[in-house]
Amino acid sequence: MIVRVEKSAEIFRIDKAGERHLNIYKGCPIGCPFCYWQADPSWNGYLYVYSDVRERLEAEIGSVPPSSLIRLSYGPLEKEWRLARSCISLLLEHGMRLIISSDYPEILDDIGMLSSHKEQVKVIIELSKFKAMDEFNRSGSNMYFDIANELRRNGIDVSATVSPVLPGITDVEEIARHLPSIPVHISLLDVRPGTLWGENTLSYVRDNYPELYQDYLAISESGRDPYYESLYEKYKDGKGQIRTDLPFYDTRPKGNADAIR
């Protein structure tokens, strides 16, 4: 991937639900075929680092209402740049409430800082990644489970997401058993025909899980996933560990042109 180090145009992105996302990094090397972001040509193949984000945040934090909820993510270049750590430290000092997403183990380097402000912090760990789920299905764990459980052991509020549920690959009840005391939120797979992520997911499943291909094709054609629906019926009351809502605004676009901004 090509790394681009840039100055921030805007330090916050406001999503369609009106929530504030701190722009630290952009791009992802994981390459999930169902990812909506791939429809954005400026996103594919690039990793962006907004190298001045800490300075900009320091200059502008006075204009952010006190106790605001800020969303931010650790990125693949955190080990080198440590920008998430630096921004989190500043935001916590100013009393902000944070929802932090992380696909990277560097968050564990900051566990002391996060646990000493645990009343201000919630962490979301996404589990739906094909290769990582293969590892979990073989061995009963993977890096994402280890990160989630370690954060929880340190008293941090953690939610896991299986977004989307991947039938035949993500056994949600088995996942929940390996994440004691952590809510597991699920959402329906979107493989609509004519969408880039729908076509890419079908190709990926055909090439890597041929035994599941007909099931995924049926989901694409009907828009319905019987496995997800069975989980939904069982857990829709929202009282148990498995939850049928997401702990963030669902960015599901209506079509390719509506992919996340």
Contact flag: residue 1 with ligand SF4 (CB under 6 A): no
162 touching ligand SF4, by CB under 6 A: no
Q: Which residues pair with 160 in a beta bridge?
A: 125, 184
The CA distance from 241 to 251, in Å, is: 23
Shortest distance, position 205 Cβ to ligand SF4, whole Å: 15
Task: Determine which residue in the list 24, 32, 151, 158 makes contact with ligand SF4, applying CB under 6 A.
Answer: 32
Smallest distance, ligand SF4 to C-beta of residue 159, A = 15
Q: What span, in angstroms and rounded, lies between the C-alpha atoms of 131 and 88? A: 30
Least Cα distance to 32 among 185, 210, 211, 170 occurs for: 170
Rounded Cα distance between 21 and 19, Å, is 7
Q: Rule CB under 6 A: is residue 5 a binding residue for ligand SF4?
A: no
User: Is 188 near ligand SF4 (CB under 6 A)?
Assistant: no
Q: Which residue of 15, 31, 111, 171 would you call a contact of ligand SF4, by CB under 6 A?
A: 31
Report CA-CA distances (Å) from 191 to 171, 187, 221, 238, 256.
19, 13, 9, 25, 12
- Helices (H) and strands (E) in the chain — how many of each? 10, 11
Please identify, using beta-carbon distances, which residue of 78 and 103 lies nearer to ligand SF4. Answer: 103
Interface pick for ligand SF4 out of 1, 3, 14, 30 (rule CB under 6 A): 30
Residue 187 CA neighbour count, 13 Å, CB half:
19
Which of these ranges, 24-32, 53-61, 115-123, 184-192, lies near ligand SF4 under the rule CB under 6 A?
A: 24-32
Cα-based torsion angle of the residue sequence 231, 236, 241, 245 in order, rounded to the nearest 10 degrees: 100
Binding status of residue 247 toward ligand SF4 by CB under 6 A? no
User: By rule CB under 6 A, what string of x and - marks binding of each residue 102-131 to ligand SF4?
Assistant: -x----------------------------
Q: 215: which 2 tokens?
A: 């099931």
Least Cβ distance, residue 117 to ligand SF4 (angstroms): 26
Cα 197 from Cα 14, distance rounded (Å): 24
Pick out residues in 216-245 that bind ligand SF4 (CB under 6 A).
Answer: none
Near ligand SF4 by CB under 6 A: residue from 15, 20, 37, 52: 37
Residues in contact with ligand SF4 by the rule CB under 6 A: 28, 30-32, 35, 37, 103
